[in-house]
Amino acid sequence: MVFIVMNRLLKYSLIALTGTTMLVIGTIVYITTALNINNFKPLIAQLITENKQRELRIEGDIKLTLHPKLGINLSGISLSEYGCKKIFASAEQVHLSLSWPALFRKQLIVDQITIRGLKTRLIRFSDGSTNIDDLINSDKKSRQIEFQSSHVHLKNTALIFRDEISQKEFALVNLDLEADHITRYTLNNLRLTAIGRIKELDNNNGKHYFNIAFNMKGARLHNDKLTSSRIDLTGKTIHSEYNWIGKLTLSNIISTASHFKGDLAVIQFASNNNDQNIQINLATSLIGNPSRQQLFLPHLTTILNICTPDILNQCIAGRLSGDLSIDALSEIMRVNTVGTLEDSTFKTALTITNFTQPAFIFNVDIDKLDINQFLLPIPGKINTKKITRNNSDLNRLFNLSFLENLNANGLIHIGILQTGNIKSSGIQFKIQSDSMPK
């Protein structure tokens, strides 16, 4: 008897649910077919103006699709700056694909978000405020709808950040971004490529261009704690006399407002400038405090290779290890290293203070240094017993003119120095800037 009653309840429940669902779908179909949703564009714009004090424009038609997902297509959309008509952001095309069942649960689950031709301009004013403060504050006040998306794709995007404090403008153009499985707490497989540009606000000619690629895997943000299994960042200069390419890889990242940790950071850097080639490979673990702007590299190892064919007889290869610490608020950086450079062993200690007008304090200790193995021989003189060198080569190798305008102070000690046929011991150079008390 109980089984029969339960069976009937289930049957009638399914009938009622099916009927309700069909009624809802039928109502939506009727509204979208009987009514032209584009007639509501002035009302939508008015609501945005009243609630956000920004002007919304939709130049193209709003198109809806109902099956199998709720699809929304917009074109020619723009949003103004706060309290004025100047455009803050615009997009050529926007496509959203929504989940029906999730909407009834007050969940905004978007299967696909595709935005083409997005252009937006972020500004940090001289007083520290930004042109999106109103949007950020309003977002914090209410979170009635939970947002999720299985895939986001931005095509041909331009993001511009104008910083009136540093008097610089940073731009990412031709940006292509894709990300999967986005929720309030998670983001997976973020992929980004773009052309970057940096310029001084008061100098239109001082522009620098570079290519950038960014990948992040397994990112999760929960209770202000960010974790990621791997982050890759690659940069390369373009249209520049000084060419370089760099790659940064971070593994197992954990970051909060007061703590940052990475199991391994690998940096690969190569540059080519007027036949001078430099290659640097660096590996270290990371510890930091984002709120205090502190970073510590406790286990730093570096391999470098320097080639200058018009000066050096051979490339210089070296290896060093040590530690590095940066305190951005106090504007102090300290580096301590020991290593080898060809046949020489060295130990260095460097402190940099006042990053805006840096002051360098250093101490370098080298056990031995043979200059002869690096300099090019003079044509026609190949006598290995009596080696003579062109003084111009020595001057170019030990050209310290770059120190002229630097606030640099320190000691360089060389145990044994071999140059030409002269061998010296106990050599010490003292470098002291004019601003250093004597």
SS (H, E, C) 149-187: EEEEEEEEEEEEEEECCCCEEEEEEEEEEEEEEECCCEE
Is the pLDDT at 251 greater than 60, yes or no?
A: yes
Encode pLDDT of 57-84 as tens digits: 999 998 888 777 788 899 999 999 998 9
Place of tokens 């000619």: 205
Looking at the fold, whether 70 and 171 belong to one and the same domain comes out as: yes
In this model, does residue 39 exceed pLDDT 60? yes
pLDDT at 261 over 70: yes
Q: Give the pLDDT score at 375.
A: 64
Structure token pair of residue 80: 């103004």
Report the C-alpha gap between 331 and 352 in whole angstroms: 8
**Domain end marker among 310, 336, 362:** 336
**Is 314 part of a structural domain of the chain?**
yes
Pairing of strands 146-163, 107-116: parallel
Has residue 121 got a pLDDT over 80? yes
3-7, 22-26, 339-343, 369-373: least confident range: 3-7
Q: What is the pLDDT of residue 394?
A: 46
Please indicate, yes or no, if residue 216 is contained in any of the structural domains.
Answer: yes
Residue 11 lies in a domain: no
Q: How far apart are the first and last CA of the chain?
A: 106
> What confidence category does residue 138 fall into, taking pLDDT thresholds of 50, 70 and 90?
low
Is residue 3 in a domain? no
Number of domains in the chain: 3
347 CB neighbour count, 10 Å cutoff: 16
Q: Which residues are registered as beta bridge partners of 83?
A: none
Strand partners, 261: 254, 287
Helix (H, G, I), strand (E, B) or coil at 202: coil
Question: What pLDDT is recorded for position 18?
Answer: 41
Q: Is residue 177 very low, low, confident or very high in pLDDT (cuts 50, 70, 90)?
A: very high
Q: Are residues 229 and 165 in the same domain?
A: yes
Residue 301 lies inside a defined structural domain of this protein: yes
The answer to whether position 21 is within a domain reads no
The confidence band for 224, taking pLDDT boundaries of 50, 70 and 90, is confident
Strand partners, 62: none
Q: Is the confidence at residue 32, as pLDDT, over 60?
A: no
243 pLDDT band, cuts 50/70/90, is: confident
Is 172 among the domain residues? Answer: yes
Cα–Cα dist 384/50, whole Å: 87
Domain end (from 336, 358, 376) = 336
Q: Quick one: 249 and 364 in the same domain?
A: no
Question: Is 165 in the same domain as 236?
Answer: yes
182 within 8 A of 146, measured Cβ to Cβ: no
**Does the pLDDT at position 315 exceed 50?**
yes
Q: What is the mean pLDDT of residues 190-218?
A: 87
pLDDT of 19 higher than 60 = no
310 — pLDDT class (breaks 50, 70, 90): low
User: Do 254 and 155 share a domain, yes or no?
Assistant: no
Residue 14 has what pLDDT? 41
Amino acid in the structure at residue 178: E
Tell me the whole-structure pTM to 2 decimals.
0.73
Q: Are residues 222 and 110 in the same domain?
A: yes
Strands 70-80, 56-58: pairing kind:
antiparallel
What number is the average pLDDT over the span 351-372? 90
Domain encompassing residue 79? 55-240
- For 406-413, what is the mean pLDDT? 90
Residues 6+ apart with CB under 8 A from 246: 234, 235, 236, 267, 268, 269, 270
Instruction: Identify the band that residue 27 occupies on the pLDDT scale cut at 50, 70 and 90.
Output: low
State whether 64 and 186 are in the same domain: yes
**For residue 139, pLDDT beyond 60:** no
- What integer best gives the mean pLDDT of the chain? 81
Check pLDDT > 70 for residue 150: yes
Whether 129 and 200 share a structural domain: yes
Q: Looking at residue 401, what is its pLDDT? A: 54
Domain match, 98 and 176 both: yes
If you ran DSSP here, which 8-state letter would residue 130 be given?
Answer: B
- Do residue 121 and residue 200 come from a single domain? yes
Residue 146 maps to a domain: yes
Distance CA 168, CA 200 (A): 5
Residues 318 and 357 in one domain: no
Bond before 290 cis per omega within 30 degrees: no
Asked if pLDDT for residue 104 goes beyond 90, the answer is no
| Residue in this structure with the two tokens 């190892």, named with its chain if needed | 301
pLDDT at 161: 93
* Assigned token pair, 242: 């000084």
Last residue of a domain, one of 295, 314, 336: 336
Question: Binning pLDDT at 50, 70 and 90, where does residue 93 land?
Answer: very high
The pair phi, psi for residue 293, each rounded to 5°, is 55, 50
Mean pLDDT of 156-176: 92
Q: Are residues 188 and 317 in the same domain?
A: no
215: pLDDT strictly greater than 60: yes
What is the chain's percent helix, strand, coil content, to nearest 5?
A: 15, 55, 25
